[in-house]
Amino acid sequence: MVDIGQEVYHFFSGLGPLGWLVAIFILFYIDAIIFPTLPELITVIIFIAGLQTTSAWVLGILILVTIAIAEFAGLTTLYLIVKKVRVPKMIRRVVCKYQDFLIVKDERIILVNRIAPVLPFLGAFVAILNWSFRKAVIYTLVGGVVKYGLILLLSGWFFELLSEGTAELVTMVMVIGILVASFTLSIIRRRRMKRKNANCPR
Q: pTM for the full model?
A: 0.83
Distance CA 63, CA 85 (A): 33
At residue 34, the 3 state secondary structure works out as coil
Q: What's the confidence (pLDDT) of residue 202?
A: 46
Over the stretch 169-178, which tens digit does the pLDDT of each residue have?
898 888 888 8
* Beta-carbon count within 10 A of 183 CB: 14
Going by C-beta distance under 8 Å and a sequence separation of 6 or more, which residues neighbour residue 2? 38, 41
Q: Which residues of the chain have pLDDT under 70?
A: 1-15, 189-190, 192-202
pLDDT of amino acid 67: 95
Residues spanned by the domain of 140: 2-199
Is the separation of the CB atoms in 120 and 129 below 8 Å?
no
Which residue from 111, 113, 115, 119 is spatially nearest to 135, judged by alpha carbons? 111
Angstrom CA distances, 171 to 68, 82, 101, 108, stand at 22, 38, 35, 29
Could you give the CA distance from residue 83 to residue 2 in angstroms, rounded to a whole number? 31
pLDDT score for 23: 85
According to the model, what pLDDT value does residue 2 have?
44
pLDDT at 134: 95
What value, to the nearest 5°, has the Cα angle with vertex 38 and ends 37 and 43?
A: 110
**Percent helix / strand / coil, the chain, rounded to 5:** 80, 0, 20
At 165 the pLDDT is 84
- How many CA atoms lie within 13 Å of 184's alpha carbon, on the beta-carbon side? 6
Total domains in the fold of the chain: 1
